């Protein structure tokens, strides 16, 4: 029984890793004041680019770089439209999702059914960390994972420190709250927005690449299956805090795989109901979070509001 | 020595000349007031010093060196710090974080070193700020002190304050003046923008008057007076007295008993209010912004849920009635919010359609007849001297003052029995303000009851019969306007209860 639970929890972390990258990416984007609903699209772009480069070169690091670059390109489209041209962020984000889905479908036509090369599979074999991996239960759950999962822990923690402990984090949070105040304090708003929107896109791309290179690991049409949308909701669940995003992502990773596990026990629940579960819980979370009104957990005040200096 | 010297400054926005060939000099160690009506070009002029606008022609010299101020950063680099009318603070952050914002230095925040520096500075200028307090928990006065500390920390020795007293209580204003004097003593130059003449006379050393984008005159404060300043600002002699029209007070039209309201966060915003207004009487409402004025107006108009208590209008409890039923009974409200456009009017519609908004439901049939509304619109435009290309022009393209006249005109045109008007002269210049006071007095003569929510204590004292002071949603006193002073009102606004409070409210209820 214990071993069942442990293996379930370890698998939940694997399933939650793509969500974690995408959620952290979206948190950074929203903290700088831009609501990018193109997460799903950027994940797919990263997934296909990572898989393609991985397949052709067999080099895992090149594959990851390609995924990040492609996610960032998606974010660049969004940044040009919403920061420089001040287009509506919601519409632009939705368009980016549709574009990304189409792009991945088009690029992936010849890849359908292809399996990730052995070099990559071996590279992302689970690695037991020295000492930490020996801890009973916890070690098995958290520290006998693949490198990509560890990179996920590291990213979330580093982003948390970046946001709350550094000068850059302070400035970027101020832009999301009150760009006029940041501007008066001579923070370069356009630069900050571009850098962090692109960084957010790159992280979403990584989340997508985890699916195609490690989780599945093969190419399939629409491989993200709505995870980008869950990430958007997770940002609210995590109250824009990277540390809380870790908890949220793994929780939803667990919901994602609970179906297989329950079927394994022979318990009769409709597969369709189980597929619906993560989204149902997402809705519940949104309801609960919206009912609690607190200054500290509120979204960045200037979220999705374009900034003009000369407007009074 | 002139620390700032602006020569021949011109700035044009589209077809509007905001500043025309202005020369402006400020010395070290002086408080220099910049005085003028709305649209005189005061803010435009100083915004060219703070790096927000760049002049179309003319040159700026700081310490006798010509400079090009193309960004807020460039301005602060030459020592110019601006305190904007709307504070540039991040609400969710602490005072310390707000000061650290945008500073150069290493990647990680070194709060302790900065904290020490700030504490030294606040001692020197006697600015008390709790550095760990979140901005959203601060009072307006505290926020302002923080803004001043912020620019001083950035090395400003030329300070520009844009209408700093507009949102302060008299006591907070007093404190600000002390700080300004302190800065003057430390050798800073202070530029103080305002349209309140009494403040200018009290605090400034010299002053410059602007009118319609042009400089009228720079003069020594000692050698002038209110009358002369008003004349310089407006361009012709003005009568500054507001008459309190004496009327025969009618019966009690509005009686509010134990009115209590709570907001969405379950906080009491109105705490058991008791007051009355008679016909032919103006009851003024004073208080710091956000003391419950808005909630009171909205509760009477049926727009804010009432938790407890009664609002008796013309011998009938109107709590629970819909806003339309309340309008039909003869209660009219005009509330001018801070952004002026938020309430009551639809910006993209013309005057006629805005007139119809409030009485379209009185018409029969499916289609709307615009004719009566158009007639009303013509009448109001003429009566209130509203400058608009036509009555079919979208109101958002009118100036703020004209928009306000449309709002007030519509409410007066409904011939209410009770007129609620909040901040009707907010941001208006002297001429228009006095016109509006006259209109309110006209209504009073007709025997209407008027609830007048105001900002300027001098006006409240001169115009109203009685003044009710709110503080944190509580009545701290209801006083006879003819017998009170600004100081007394200030204390009440800050929360000190009136000694005779019990007696007065009892009188009102009897």
* Rounded Cα–Cα distance for residues B192 and B181 (Å): 12
CB B58 within 8 A of CB B9: yes
* Rounded Cα–Cα distance for residues A62 and B152 (Å): 50
Which pTM was predicted?
0.79
Write down the residue that tokens 């409240």 correspond to: B460
Q: Using 50, 70 and 90 to split pLDDT, how confident is the model at B502?
A: very low
Instruction: Tally A–B CB contacts below 8 A.
Output: 77
More confident residue, B249 or A42: A42
Is the alpha carbon torsion for B214, B216, B220, B222 positive or negative?
negative
Chain A: closest CA distance from residue B313 (Å): 36
* Rounded Cα–Cα distance for residues A72 and A232 (Å): 17
Mutate to test the interface with A, among B101, B147, B152, B154 (most CBs of A within 10 A): B101
Architecture of the domain defined by B2-234:
3-Layer(aba) Sandwich (3.40)
Asked if B76 is an interface residue toward chain A (Cβ–Cβ < 8 A), one would say yes
Q: How many CB atoms lie within 10 A of CB B123?
A: 10
* Rounded Cα–Cα distance for residues A182 and A205 (Å): 29
DSSP string of B446-459? TT-EEEEE-S-HHH
How large is the average pLDDT for residues B183-187? 89
How large is the average pLDDT for residues A93-107? 96
Asked if A239 is an interface residue toward chain B (Cβ–Cβ < 8 A), one would say no
Residue among B289, B270, B409 at smallest CA distance from B344: B409
* Mean per-residue pLDDT over chain A, rounded: 92
Q: Do domains B2-234 and B252-330+416-509 have the same CATH topology?
A: yes
DSSP string of A275-307? HHHHHHHHHHHHHHHHH---TTTSPPTTTT---
Highest mean pLDDT among B30-44, B180-194, B385-399: B180-194
Q: Using 50, 70 and 90 to split pLDDT, how confident is the model at A67?
A: very high
In what helix (H) or strand (E) does residue B310 lie, and over which residues does it extend?
A: strand B308-313
CB B108 to CB A187 under 8 A? no
Say whether pLDDT at B428 is over 90: no
Q: Using 50, 70 and 90 to split pLDDT, how confident is the model at B427?
A: low
* Rounded Cα–Cα distance for residues B346 and B410 (Å): 13
Say whether pLDDT at B233 is over 80: yes
Residue among B253, B240, B208, B194 at smallest CA distance from B30: B208
A309 contacts on B by Cβ (under 8 Å):
52
For B428, which DSSP code?
-
**Which of B53, B71, B91 has the CB atom closest to A186's CB atom?**
B71
What would the CATH number be for the domain defined by B252-330+416-509?
Answer: 3.40.50.300
Return the pLDDT at A312: 39
Measured CA angle at A266 (ends A261, A269), to 5 deg: 75
**Which of A174, A178, A184 has the CB atom closest to B72's CB atom?**
A184
Asked if B108 is an interface residue toward chain A (Cβ–Cβ < 8 A), one would say yes
Chain A: closest CA distance from residue B81 (Å): 10
CB B206 within 8 A of CB B218: yes
Return the pLDDT at A80: 97
CB B318 within 8 A of CB B327: no
CB B88 to CB A185 under 8 A? yes
Max CA-CA distance within chain A?
65
HSE-CB at B53 with a 13 A cutoff on CA atoms is: 22
* Rounded Cα–Cα distance for residues B336 and B76 (Å): 35
Say whether pLDDT at B342 is over 80: no
Asked if B181 is an interface residue toward chain A (Cβ–Cβ < 8 A), one would say no
Q: Using 50, 70 and 90 to split pLDDT, how confident is the model at A68?
A: very high
Return the pLDDT at B503: 42
* Rounded Cα–Cα distance for residues A300 and B247 (Å): 53
* Rounded Cα–Cα distance for residues B55 and B47 (Å): 10
CB A246 within 8 A of CB A20: yes
CB A171 to CB B90 under 8 A? no
* Rounded Cα–Cα distance for residues B50 and B36 (Å): 19
Return the pLDDT at A293: 66
> Which residues on neighbouring strands pair with residue A145, listed in sequence order?
A127
Residue among B435, B456, B412 at smallest CA distance from B167: B456
Inter-CA distances, B347 with A264, B358, B452, Å:
62, 15, 24
**Which of B101, B106, B109 has the CB atom closest to A185's CB atom?**
B101
Say whether pLDDT at B260 is over 70: yes
The ranges assigned to domains in chain B are 2-234, 252-330+416-509, 343-414
Return the pLDDT at B340: 58
pLDDT digits (tens, 9 = 90+) for A135-171: 988 999 999 999 999 999 999 999 999 999 999 999 9
CB A31 within 8 A of CB A240: yes
Highest mean pLDDT among A93-97, A113-117, B159-163, B231-235: A93-97
In chain B, the residue whose alpha carbon lies closest to the alpha carbon of A175 is B90
Mutate to test the interface with A, among B13, B87, B92, B114 (most CBs of A within 10 A): B92
Query: Quick one: what percent of chain B has pLDDT higher than 90?
Result: 35
- Interface pTM, i.e. ipTM: 0.87
A167 contacts on B by Cβ (under 8 Å):
100, 103, 105-109
pLDDT digits (tens, 9 = 90+) for A196-213: 999 999 999 999 999 999
Helix axes A89-108, A39-57, angle to 10 degrees: 30
CB B92 to CB A301 under 8 A? yes
Radius of gyration of chain B measured on its C-alpha atoms: 25
> Which residues on neighbouring strands pair with residue B261, listed in sequence order?
B270
Return the pLDDT at B504: 45
Q: Using 50, 70 and 90 to split pLDDT, how confident is the model at B508?
A: very low
DSSP string of A147-176? HHHHHHHHHHHHHHHHHHHBHHHHHHHHHH
Helix axes A2-31, A189-210, angle to 10 degrees: 150
**List of domains in chain A:** 2-291 (1.10.3470)
> Which residues on neighbouring strands pair with residue B277, listed in sequence order?
B254
Highest mean pLDDT among A278-282, B256-260, B378-382: B256-260
Backbone angles phi, psi at B160, to 5 degrees: -115, 125
B97 contacts on A by Cβ (under 8 Å):
170
* Rounded Cα–Cα distance for residues B47 and B9 (Å): 12
Helix (H, G, I), strand (E, B) or coil at B296: helix
Return the pLDDT at B341: 59
First to last CA, chain A: 64
**Which of A174, A177, A186 has the CB atom closest to B76's CB atom?**
A186
* Rounded Cα–Cα distance for residues B479 and B498 (Å): 9
CB A232 within 8 A of CB A239: no
Asked if A296 is an interface residue toward chain B (Cβ–Cβ < 8 A), one would say yes
Burial of A18 (0-12, 13-18, 19+ CB in 10 A): buried
HSE-CB at B132 with a 13 A cutoff on CA atoms is: 2
Return the pLDDT at A298: 83
CB A186 to CB B102 under 8 A? yes
Q: How many CB atoms lie within 10 A of CB B126?
A: 11
Q: Which of A86-90, A131-135, A269-273, B183-187 has the lowest mean pLDDT?
A: A269-273
Residues 6 or more apart in contact with residue B6 via CB below 8 angstroms: B22, B23, B24, B25, B45, B48, B49, B58, B59, B60, B61
B87 contacts on A by Cβ (under 8 Å):
181
Write down the residue that tokens 């912020």 correspond to: B150
**Which of A165, A184, A301 has the CB atom closest to B109's CB atom?**
A165
Asked if A171 is an interface residue toward chain B (Cβ–Cβ < 8 A), one would say yes
Asked if A292 is an interface residue toward chain B (Cβ–Cβ < 8 A), one would say no
* Tokens found for residue B400: 């703020």
Asked if A190 is an interface residue toward chain B (Cβ–Cβ < 8 A), one would say no
CB B90 to CB A182 under 8 A? yes
How large is the average pLDDT for residues B118-129? 88
pLDDT digits (tens, 9 = 90+) for A249-277: 999 999 888 877 877 777 778 878 887 88
How large is the average pLDDT for residues B447-464? 90
**Which of B73, B82, B91 has the CB atom closest to A177's CB atom?**
B91
Write down the residue that tokens 């020594």 correspond to: B220
pLDDT digits (tens, 9 = 90+) for B130-144: 999 999 888 888 899
Residue among B4, B40, B10 at smallest CA distance from B24: B4
DSSP string of B339-404? TSSSSSS-TTSBHHHHHHTTTGGGS-SSS---HHHHHHHHHHHHHTT---S-TTSBGGGS-HHHHH
Say whether pLDDT at B510 is over 60: no
* Rounded Cα–Cα distance for residues B295 and B304 (Å): 7
CB A143 within 8 A of CB A128: yes
Chain A: closest CA distance from residue B76 (Å): 9
More confident residue, B508 or A115: A115
In chain B, the residue whose alpha carbon lies closest to the alpha carbon of A310 is B52
Q: How many CB atoms lie within 10 A of CB A131?
A: 9
Asked if B16 is an interface residue toward chain A (Cβ–Cβ < 8 A), one would say no
* Mean per-residue pLDDT over chain B, rounded: 86
Say whether pLDDT at B208 is over 80: yes
Helix (H, G, I), strand (E, B) or coil at B496: coil
Residue among B477, B448, B349, B323 at smallest CA distance from B407: B349
pLDDT digits (tens, 9 = 90+) for B26-56: 998 999 999 887 778 888 899 899 888 889 9
Q: How many CB atoms lie within 10 A of CB B130?
A: 13
Task: Check residue B272 and give left, alpha or beta (phi > 0: left; psi -120 to 50: alpha).
Answer: left
Q: Using 50, 70 and 90 to split pLDDT, how confident is the model at B469?
A: very high
CB B240 within 8 A of CB B226: yes
> Which residues on neighbouring strands pair with residue B81, listed in sequence order?
B159
Say whether pLDDT at B509 is over 60: no
Return the pLDDT at B339: 57
Query: Quick one: what percent of chain A has pLDDT higher than 90?
Result: 74
More confident residue, B255 or B170: B255
Chain A: closest CA distance from residue B65 (Å): 23
In chain A, the residue whose alpha carbon lies closest to the alpha carbon of B264 is A293
Return the pLDDT at B507: 43
Highest mean pLDDT among A236-250, A257-271, B81-95: A236-250
In what helix (H) or strand (E) does residue A89 lie, and over which residues does it extend?
A: helix A89-108
CB B109 to CB A167 under 8 A? yes
B91 contacts on A by Cβ (under 8 Å):
177-178, 295, 301
Asked if B155 is an interface residue toward chain A (Cβ–Cβ < 8 A), one would say no
Mutate to test the interface with B, among A33, A167, A168, A184 (most CBs of B within 10 A): A184
**Which of A165, A168, A174 has the CB atom closest to B90's CB atom?**
A174
Q: What is the 3-state secondary structure (H, E, C) of B230-260?
A: HHHHHCCCCCCCCCCCCCCCCCEEEEEEEEE
């Amino acid at each position: 029984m214990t071993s069942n639970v442990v293996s379930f929890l370890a698998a939940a972390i694997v399933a939650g890793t793509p969500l974690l990258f995408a959620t952290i990416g979206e948190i950074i984007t929203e903290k700088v004041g831009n609501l990018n609903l193109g997460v799903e699209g950027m994940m797919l772009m990263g997934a296909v680019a990572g898989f393609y480069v991985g397949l052709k070169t067999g080099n895992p690091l090149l594959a990851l770089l390609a995924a990040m670059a492609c996610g960032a390109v998606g974010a660049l489209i969004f940044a040009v439209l919403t920061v420089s041209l001040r287009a509506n962020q919601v519409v632009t984000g939705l368009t980016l999702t549709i574009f990304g889905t189409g792009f991945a479908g088009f690029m992936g036509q010849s890849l359908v059914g292809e399996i990730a090369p052995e070099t990559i599979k071996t590279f992302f074999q689970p690695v037991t960390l020295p000492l930490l991996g020996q801890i009973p239960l916890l070690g098995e759950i958290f520290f006998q994972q693949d490198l990509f999962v560890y990179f996920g822990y590291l990213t979330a923690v580093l982003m948390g420190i970046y946001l709350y402990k550094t000068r850059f984090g302070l400035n970027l949070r101020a832009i999301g709250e009150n760009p006029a105040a940041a501007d008066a304090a001579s923070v370069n708003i356009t630069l900050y927005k571009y850098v962090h929107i692109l960084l957010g896109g790159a992280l979403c791309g990584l989340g997508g690449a985890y699916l195609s290179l490690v989780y599945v690991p093969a190419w399939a049409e629409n491989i993200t299956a709505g995870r980008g949308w869950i990430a958007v909701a997770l940002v609210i669940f995590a109250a824009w805090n990277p540390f809380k995003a870790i908890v949220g992502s793994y929780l939803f990773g667990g919901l994602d795989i609970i179906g297989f596990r329950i079927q394994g026990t022979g318990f009769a629940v409709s597969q369709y109901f189980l597929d619906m579960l993560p989204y149902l819980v997402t809705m519940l979370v949104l309801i609960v979070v919206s009912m609690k009104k607190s200054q500290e957990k509120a979204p960045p005040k200037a979220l999705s509001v374009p900034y003009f200096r000369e407007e009074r | 020595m002139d620390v700032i010297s602006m020569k021949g400054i011109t700035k044009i926005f589209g077809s509007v000349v905001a500043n025309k060939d202005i020369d402006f000099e400020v010395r070290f160690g002086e408080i220099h007031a910049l005085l003028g009506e709305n649209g005189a070009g005061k803010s435009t002029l100083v915004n060219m010093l703070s790096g927000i606008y760049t002049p179309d022609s003319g040159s700026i010299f700081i310490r006798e060196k010509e400079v090009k101020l193309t960004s807020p950063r460039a301005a602060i680099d030459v020592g110019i710090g601006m305190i904007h009318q709307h504070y540039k603070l991040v609400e969710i952050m602490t005072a310390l974080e707000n000061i650290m914002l945008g500073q150069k230095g290493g990647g990680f925040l070194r709060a302790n070193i900065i904290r020490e520096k700030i504490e030294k500075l606040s001692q020197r200028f006697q600015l008390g700020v709790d550095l760990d307090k979140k901005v959203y928990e601060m009072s307006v006065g505290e926020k302002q002190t923080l803004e001043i500390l912020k620019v001083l920390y950035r090395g400003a020795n030329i300070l520009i304050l844009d209408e700093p007293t507009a949102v302060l209580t008299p006591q907070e204003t007093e404190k600000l003046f002390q700080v300004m004097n302190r800065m003057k003593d430390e050798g800073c130059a202070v530029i103080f923008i305002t349209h309140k003449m009494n403040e200018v006379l009290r605090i400034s050393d010299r002053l410059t008057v602007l009118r319609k984008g042009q400089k009228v005159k720079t003069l020594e404060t000692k050698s002038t007076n209110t009358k002369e300043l008003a004349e310089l600002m407006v361009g012709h002699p003005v009568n500054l007295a507001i008459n309190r029209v004496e009327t025969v007070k009618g019966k009690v039209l509005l009686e509010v008993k134990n009115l209590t309201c709570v907001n969405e966060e379950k906080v009491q915003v109105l705490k058991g209010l008791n007051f009355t207004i008679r016909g032919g009487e103006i009851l003024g409402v004073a208080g710091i912004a956000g003391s419950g004025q808005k909630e009171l107006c909205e509760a009477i108009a049926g727009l804010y849920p009432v938790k407890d208590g009664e609002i008796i209008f013309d011998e009938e409890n109107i709590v629970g009635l819909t806003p339309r039923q309340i309008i039909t009974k003869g209660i009219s409200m005009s509330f001018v919010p801070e952004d002026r456009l938020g309430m009551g009017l639809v910006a993209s519609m013309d005057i006629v359609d805005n007139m119809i908004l409030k009485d379209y439901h009185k018409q029969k049939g499916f289609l709307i007849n615009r004719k009566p509304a158009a007639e009303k619109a013509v009448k109001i435009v003429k009566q209130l001297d509203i400058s608009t290309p036509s009555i079919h022009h979208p109101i958002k393209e009118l100036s703020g003052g004209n928009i306000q006249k449309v709002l007030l005109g519509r409410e007066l045109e409904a011939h209410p029995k009770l007129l609620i008007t909040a901040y009707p002269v907010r941001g208006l210049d002297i001429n228009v303000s006095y016109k509006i006071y006259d209109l309110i007095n006209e209504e009073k003569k007709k025997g209407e009851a008027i609830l007048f929510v105001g900002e300027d204590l001098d006006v409240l004292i001169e115009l109203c019969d009685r003044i009710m002071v709110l503080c944190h949603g509580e009545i701290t006193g209801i006083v006879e306007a003819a017998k009170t002073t600004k100081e007394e009102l200030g204390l009440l606004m800050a929360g000190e209860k009136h000694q005779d409070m019990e007696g007065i409210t009892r009188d009102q209820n009897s």
